């Protein structure tokens, strides 16, 4: 268990991050990541008796990006080359059930539930539900994200998934 003040500060960090994503302030959102960050979304796998199974590290993943690749994705989304985002989707992100552990060295392991709603062209909607597992590193009075693992509950995602989590 962490103290109430630390819990509040981490939750405020996550809420601000969700707002940056919802407002498509992607360059500011990228600034929340360390230069050596890993952004990883392993694919769900169906294993009898293991409803929470995901592909192992190094196996199938929807994303396994470093910060440079994330930056390139943001740049592409801002260009006319991202056809799936012309015009841009409306996005809304919700985080809840924030749990924090302190492994040491000032870093924090943070888990939260995630709901992302996407609306496109008044006729297409998608919802993504899952959890995030983050490693936060101290950065002055706040943190930066060194590792993000996204685990969606659904096994099928839209072919043109072009959003960040």
Task: For 126-155, write each residue's pLDDT tens digit.
Answer: 899 999 999 999 999 899 999 999 999 887
pLDDT band at 25 (very low <50, low <70, confident <90, very high): very high
Q: What percent of the chain has pLDDT over 70?
A: 95
Q: What is the pLDDT of residue 159?
A: 65
Give the integer Cα–Cα distance in Å for 83 and 37: 27
Whether 158 is covered by a domain: the verdict is: no
- Are the C-beta atoms of 114 and 98 separated by less than 8 Å? no
pLDDT band at 125 (very low <50, low <70, confident <90, very high): confident
Instruction: Report the CATH number at residue 130.
Output: 3.10.450.50
Q: Give the closest residue to 157 by CA, choosing from 98, 92, 84.
A: 84
Whether 164 is covered by a domain: the verdict is: no
Whether 165 is covered by a domain: the verdict is: no
Whether 19 is covered by a domain: the verdict is: yes
pLDDT band at 70 (very low <50, low <70, confident <90, very high): very high
Whether 64 is covered by a domain: the verdict is: yes
pLDDT band at 123 (very low <50, low <70, confident <90, very high): confident
User: From the DSSP assignment, how many helices (H) and strands (E) are in the chain?
Assistant: 3, 6
Domain residues for the domain of 96 are 4-152
Mean per-residue pLDDT, 29-37:
98
Q: What is the pLDDT of residue 93?
A: 97
Cα end-to-end distance, the chain, whole Å: 26
pLDDT band at 87 (very low <50, low <70, confident <90, very high): confident
Question: How many domains in the chain?
Answer: 1
Whether 94 is covered by a domain: the verdict is: yes
Give the integer Cα–Cα distance in Å for 49 and 144: 36
Whether 130 is covered by a domain: the verdict is: yes
Conformational region of residue 47, where left means phi above 0, alpha means psi within -120 to 50, and beta covers everything else: beta
pLDDT band at 51 (very low <50, low <70, confident <90, very high): low
Whether 160 is covered by a domain: the verdict is: no
Residue spans of alpha helices (H) in the chain: 4-22, 26-30, 67-78
pTM exceeding the 0.85 threshold for the entire prediction:
yes
Mean per-residue pLDDT, 57-64:
81
Q: What percent of the chain has pLDDT over 90?
A: 62
């Amino acid at each position: 268990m962490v103290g109430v003040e630390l819990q509040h500060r981490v939750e405020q960090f996550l809420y601000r991050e969700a707002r940056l994503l919802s407002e498509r302030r992607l360059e500011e959102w990228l600034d929340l990541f360390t230069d050596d960050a890993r952004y990883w979304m392993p694919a769900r796998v169906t294993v009898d008796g293991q409803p929470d199974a995901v592909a192992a590290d190094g196996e199938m993943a929807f994303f396994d990006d470093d910060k440079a690749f994330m930056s390139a994705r943001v740049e592409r989304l801002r260009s006319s080359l991202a056809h799936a985002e012309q015009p841009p989707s409306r996005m809304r992100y919700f985080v809840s059930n924030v749990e924090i552990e302190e492994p040491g060295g000032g870093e924090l392991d943070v888990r939260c539930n995630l709901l992302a709603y996407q609306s496109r062209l008044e006729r297409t909607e998608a919802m993504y539900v899952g959890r995030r597992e983050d490693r936060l590193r101290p950065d002055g009075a706040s943190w930066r994200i060194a590792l993000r693992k996204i685990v969606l509950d659904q096994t099928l995602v839209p072919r043109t998934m072009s959003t960040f989590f």
